[in-house]
Chains A and B, each alone.
Chain A
Amino acid sequence: MNSSTTGASKGLRAMAPAMVGGLTTAGLWCVHIALRENLSPGDPWRLLVTGLLVAAFGLWVAGYVRLSRTLDEFQRQRQELALSIAFPVSLVAAFGVSFFAGEGVPLGMDPRDLPAVMIVAYLMGIVIAWWRYR
């Protein structure tokens, strides 16, 4: 096995928990959206999927933290740039949605989908960081 293959497989091994967590979260999120359209609040299936969704999200976060520990200084700088975009966008979105919802202003957005805004902001940050250092 040559060095680049070893490096790639090492990178994939480090990424695996975050990828599994991310994909599981995405799948359960879709199931949750489908269930909340069809089942009433408090339904045991809804509660079960909600619990699993939170656990999967936790798994993704743990995988991401583990992955970030394996990054070198350049990769960390790219992540820092991505997070410097995602963090303020997420804060403003969370602040805006929660306060407007509290005031009874309809924003046309389910507050439960707020994490999706944060994830999209982070992905935008990743693309911008990749573009900046390509």
Chain B
Amino acid sequence: MRNRLKVLRAERDWTQEDLARQAGVSRQAINAIETGKYDPSLPLAFRLGRIFAMPVEKIFFPEDPR
């Protein structure tokens, strides 16, 4: 799974720690999601969508979009 988390976070000038605090997870979790090493659960993905005020599919998308 790929995602635009890093770009969205940078647009808002947030640190990983800022986003982690809002999402209620550790900074390491945000880092692992951004680097594609960890795919978040659906509740966390929806929480991130709410934080960025956009649908989940605008943040996360499959590796191969076919």
Q: Which residues of A contact B (CB under 8 A)?
A: 3-4, 7, 72-75, 77, 132-133
Contact = CB atoms under 8 A, between A and B. Distances in A.
Nearest to A11: B26
A72 B17 contact: no
Contacts of A133: 28, 32, 37-38
Given A4-B17, A7-B17, A7-B21, A73 B28 contact: no
Contacts, number: 36
A133 to B, nearest CB: 5
Tell me if B's interface is mostly helix, strand, loop or mixed: helix
A88 to B, nearest CB: 23
Contacts of B32: 74, 133
Contacts of A73: 25, 29, 40-41, 44
